[in-house]
Amino acid sequence: MHLSGEVFINGQPAPIGTVVTANSEDGGEIARYVVRKAGRYGVMHIRETSRIQRGDVITLAVDGQTVDSNVDKSRFIGGEYIVWDGESKSIKRDVAVHVE
């Protein structure tokens, strides 16, 4: 699976150096991407490991903070879930966090 998209912090494009992570249901990191172009992340490659199995929900975090639109563990901007199915496909998900 390959994830990419736009990333925002407090409504602004995330700066270079921001870290976007994909996390398994147990909270363990399964993939990481360091932003190289402001406001964009990816392509982040996710491969099957002992931490993730078919049917598991993948959540995203920005600099360690779970994205705001993670409702019921996995709802992202656009209202869809990211579920590991073992397929090699590309998914675009825009994510945002608010930091005080």
35-56 confidence digits (pLDDT tens) = 999 999 989 998 877 788 888 8
Cα–Cα distance measured from residue 98 to residue 100, given in angstroms and rounded to the nearest whole number: 7
* CATH number for the domain that contains residue 22: 2.60.40
What domain range is 60 assigned to? 2-97
Return the biggest CA–CA distance within the chain.
38
**Mean pLDDT of all residues belonging to the chain:** 82
CA distances from 60 to 9, 64 (A): 14, 9
pLDDT grade for 80, boundaries at 50, 70 and 90:
low
Main-chain dihedrals φ then ψ at residue 54, nearest 5 degrees: -50, 135
The structural domain count of the chain equals 1
| pLDDT of 25 higher than 60 | yes
pTM for this prediction: 0.83
